[in-house]
Amino acid sequence: MKVIIIRYSEIHLKGNNREFFESALISNIKSVIKDYPCEVSRSNARYVIRNFDETYLEDIIDAVKNVFGVHSLSVAEEVPTDMKQISAAALSFAPAFGTFKVNTNRADKRFPIPSMEVSAEIGGDILEANPSLKVDLFHPDHTVYIDIRENGKTFVYGETIKAVNGMPVGTGGKGIVMLSGGIDSPVAAYMMAKRGMTLRAVHFHSFPYTSMQARQKVLDLAKIIKKYTLHMTVDVVSFTEIQTAIHEKCPEEYMITIMRRFMMRIAERIASMRGAGAVITGESLGQVASQTLESITSTNSVATLPVFRPLIGFDKDEIIEISKKIGTYETSILPYEDCCTIFLPKRPVTKPRLESVIKVESVLDVDTLVENALNSVESVVID
């Protein structure tokens, strides 16, 4: 029988709490393959998918390998623990040319043949079937794996497919990610979901200064991210009134600083409304004027919840590399402006003093502007 073996990541380090993380992981795995009839069962420190339509094999693998908490997968033959049947399965995974070795794990110590002898015997069968092959125990081109389990069954496979690792989504609390149309914030969302955090997004939209295409771009990014976060809702906030007020009443060089403080206030209020315990941003230290230490200090001063900045020590090339890997890059670079790119000052203040920022901001009716923005929220559930 063809099966898919799923190995989990750092969950094995969780001691007495392991069951909580394992339950979350298997629930997430079942969630992403719910459209494919199959059975998922547990086998010690791994899960096994059985009785699936092989037409959907690649779809199932693609879905499961992007579930945080999964370390790797293998497509295997499950056979009774009998040397003849193990050998027949091993021959189907043997290479046609090059070098190989057989690697045996004998979890069932009741099986009378030691691991090294199993490997030697099965390797001999493979060589007999294809004398052109050569054995290389140290640097083989191919490896045939034999996993003898305690239930009288054996898994035989030839490839290990790398997955995303991390912790299962839902085990690390809930956070609100400030999602723009740029490269950084989708990567920040990915990084926090990888640590088990359940995410919801907030997006600031300044229609008519920013187009509906810009808004849709963010929703498209959210749909890509959902592949990893499992669920995603975007709270779209009208930011036009706030930006207009800042533009009209505050010195130009402080516009980005004041704008970021409003965004943080609103994101934190939404976090509290949604039962989230943290706000997440895509800031990277020194990348732009609003991401200097002094600017970040100014933004943080209006926050009471923890603010997570998973990209703070990354350079742009590293962030782009991840964005390409997770599939958000091509959408992020589409030429639709977001609210952070309008009314840009020619010379933004890069080292704002907090007392100066507070004085500049004092001309605004902060509370009313924040409440009006919160009353504008449109929640978009990403299908």
CATH number of the structural domain spanning residue 76? 3.30.2130.30
From 118-122, 158-162, 165-169, 348-352, the region with the lowest mean pLDDT: 348-352
In this structure, the answer to whether residues 178 and 66 fall within a common structural domain is no
| Local confidence band at 336 (pLDDT 50, 70, 90 cut-offs) | confident
Confidence check: pLDDT of 340 > 70: no
In this structure, the answer to whether residues 295 and 233 fall within a common structural domain is yes
In this structure, the answer to whether residues 247 and 189 fall within a common structural domain is yes
Section 233-259 average pLDDT: 94
Domain that holds residue 235: 174-381
In this structure, the answer to whether residues 153 and 188 fall within a common structural domain is no
Structural domains in the chain (count): 2
Of 121, 139, 162, the domain-final residue: 162
Long-range interactions of 107-116: CB distance < 8 A, separation 24+: 107/44, 107/147, 107/148, 107/149, 107/150, 108/81, 108/148, 108/149, 108/150, 108/151, 108/152, 110/150, 111/81, 111/148, 113/83
> Residue 338: its pLDDT value, please?
66
- Is 169 part of a structural domain of the chain? no
Instruction: List, for residues 97-155, the tens digit of each pLDDT value.
Output: 999 999 999 999 999 999 999 999 999 999 999 999 999 999 999 999 999 999 899 99
In this structure, the answer to whether residues 336 and 357 fall within a common structural domain is yes
Instruction: List, for residues 64-102, the tens digit of each pLDDT value.
Output: 999 999 999 999 999 999 999 999 999 999 999 999 999
> Residue 119: its pLDDT value, please?
98
- Is 335 part of a structural domain of the chain? yes
Check if the beta carbon of residue 364 is closer than 8 Å to that of residue 355.
no
> Residue 143 burial by CB count (10 A; 0-12/13-18/19+): exposed, middle or buried?
middle
> Residue 208: its pLDDT value, please?
82
pTM of the model: 0.92
In this structure, the answer to whether residues 94 and 187 fall within a common structural domain is no
Of 129, 162, 195, the domain-final residue: 162
Check if the beta carbon of residue 326 is closer than 8 Å to that of residue 184.
no
CATH of the domain at 293: 3.40.50.620
> Residue 42: its pLDDT value, please?
86
In this structure, the answer to whether residues 6 and 47 fall within a common structural domain is yes
* Pick from 69, 14, 20: nearest CA to 46: 69
Of 107, 138, 162, the domain-final residue: 162
In this structure, the answer to whether residues 260 and 376 fall within a common structural domain is yes
